[in-house]
Amino acid sequence: MTVTQTQTSGTAAEPLEDLCASAGTPHPRPDGQDRYTISEVAAFTGLSAHTLRWYERIGLMPHIDRSHTGQRRFTNRDLDWLAFVGKLRLTGMPVADMVRYAELVRAGDHTFEERQELLRATREDVRRRIAELQSTLAVLDFKIEFYADARRASERF
C-alpha cells in the first residue's frame, strides 16, 4: 500500500471555511461526537459506504482520520464537506469538477480566486438549468391541460 498519508492527518492548516457553509442549521448531527463510523455517515448522508470510500479514493474527500485499527472516523467537518458536495452533486456538476474543487481547497487559501470562479460558472449553469426546467414545465402544463380537455370532451358524448 502506498497511501499518501502525508497531507492527511496533520493538517491544521486546511481551510475551515468551506465546511460550514450549508447556511441555516450549523451542526444538526446524530450525536455530539466528532468521530463517526462509515456506516453512521452512510445513514446520515444517504450515500452508501461504498460511495464514501470511493469519494475518498478519487480525492473528493480529504483523507479521513483512522482509528488505531485503521477504520475510518469521520468528523463533523467531513460531514459539512459532504453536505456541500451533495449540493454540488444536485447541480449536476461532474465528479471530476468536484474533485478539482476539492484539490483547490486542499491547496490552500491562495486558490480563493479560482474557487470563486469555478463556483460562479456553476452558478450560471444552475441558472440556465432552472430556466430550461421552467420551459419544460410550460410544455408539460400545456400538454396536461390538453389531455384534460380531451377527456372532458370525450365524456360529453
Please pick, from the candidates 133, 155, 156, 157, the single residue that binds a copy of itself as defined by CB under 8 A. 133
Which range touches DNA (CB under 7 A), out of 26-34, 62-70, 103-111, 112-120?
A: 62-70
State yes or no: residue 148 binds a copy of itself (CB under 8 A). yes
- Residue list 73-132, contact with DNA (CB under 7 A): 89, 94-96
Q: How far apart are the first and last CA of the chain?
A: 76
Q: Write out the three cell numbers for 95.
A: 465528479
Q: Is 24 an interacting residue with respect to DNA (CB under 7 A)?
A: no
Task: Check binding of 138 to a copy of itself (CB under 8 A).
Answer: yes
The H or E element containing residue 68 is none
Helix axis angle for 95-107 and 76-90, nearest 10°, is 140
Neighbours of 80 (CB within 10 A): 19
Query: Within a 10 A sphere around the Cβ of 51, how many other Cβ atoms?
Result: 13
Q: Which three cell numbers stand for residue 140?
A: 408539460
Phi-psi region of 73 (alpha: psi -120 to 50; beta: other; left: phi over 0): beta
- Examine residue 75 and tell whether it contacts a copy of itself (CB under 8 A): no
Chain contacts with DNA (rule: CB under 7 A): 1, 3, 37-40, 48-51, 53-54, 57, 68-72, 89, 94-96
Chain contacts with a copy of itself (rule: CB under 8 A): 17-18, 21-23, 84, 87-88, 90-91, 109, 112-113, 115-116, 119-120, 122-123, 126-127, 129-130, 132-144, 146-148, 150-151, 154
